[in-house]
Amino acid sequence: MPTTYQIVVCGGIVPDPLQSLEPVMGPTGPALKNEMMLPSVLDPWAWHALFEAADLAKRHPGSKVWLVSMSPKAKLQQVMMGLAQKVPFELVVVDGPASGFADAVETAAALAGAIEGIPDLDRSKLLLFGGWQSASRGTGAVLQMIGEILGIDEQFQGVDKLTVDDSGGLEILERIEAGAWQKSRCAGAPAVLGWATGELPEPPNNPQIGMQNMRGIMPALQQAKPAALSGEGLSYDSVESPKQRRETRVETEMDADAIADEIAAWLKG
């Protein structure tokens, strides 16, 4: 009997990485200056996870992909206009902040609740995908906590490759230090995979897939429930952009070895 999967990809939107971001302290806490005016994209790590999920579903007929996102639904709609043409998926939306200042525990609880609300979700076939890291919630903790809430013990982070054998077993390559990988195996779903960059290129636009996706995306956006994030116990003393430091000295008489020695001494210091 062929193996089928129900793949849930968690991914929020983030400001386009080419934009300059300036944190400010707003009336309700930290925020990004002119956040609603900044062009947004799907989080780059979640982007890879979504492509890997779609490819896996394509190779295992009968499988299905959901994209679960906690984001401001007005901004999410703009991102979906382009993303919907890439791969087939069903969207589940939680209307909430995407600036990265929300508490990771509350974010995980809100996303886990949205996943549990997916009709007829078969936990025995569930693969939970997402980014190993995040461009907004850079701790990489949210996906792990969602897995714990859902009772999924098999978790893998920094994944670059997933192979399914004939018995349905999973072989996973996880990044470790020094440019090497760790090969792990588990019997099959359910499992959590936090993706790094994977192996797949960006799929080309397909207007037919876009039209198919948009039939479900617009109702999902309209029915999105606000995330109940209290922020209780979370406080920030200040928010500011990292300071840039540049020290320049012009030398015309030093040889290469002396320059290298001085740079090494500066780094050690």
CA torsion through residues 152, 43, 229, 139, sign: positive
**pLDDT at residue 237 greater than cutoff 70:** no
Tell me if residue 203 falls in helix, strand or coil: coil
88: preceding bond cis by omega (within 30 degrees): no
Question: Of the given ranges (40-49, 87-96, 102-111, 233-242), which has the lowest mean pLDDT?
Answer: 233-242
Query: Is there a contact between 162 and 132 (Cβ–Cβ < 8 Å)?
Result: no
Look up residue 160 and give its amino acid: D
160-180 pLDDT per residue, tens: 999 999 888 999 999 887 778
Q: Sketch out the chain's domains with CATH numbers.
A: 6-226 (3.40.50.620)
Note if the pTM is more than 0.75.
yes
18-59 pLDDT per residue, tens: 666 767 776 766 667 767 777 788 888 899 999 999 999 999
pLDDT given at position 103:
79
> Dihedral angle at the C-alpha atoms of 94, 95, 96, 100, nearest 10 degrees?
70
**pLDDT at residue 241 greater than cutoff 90:** no
Query: Is there a contact between 202 and 51 (Cβ–Cβ < 8 Å)?
Result: yes
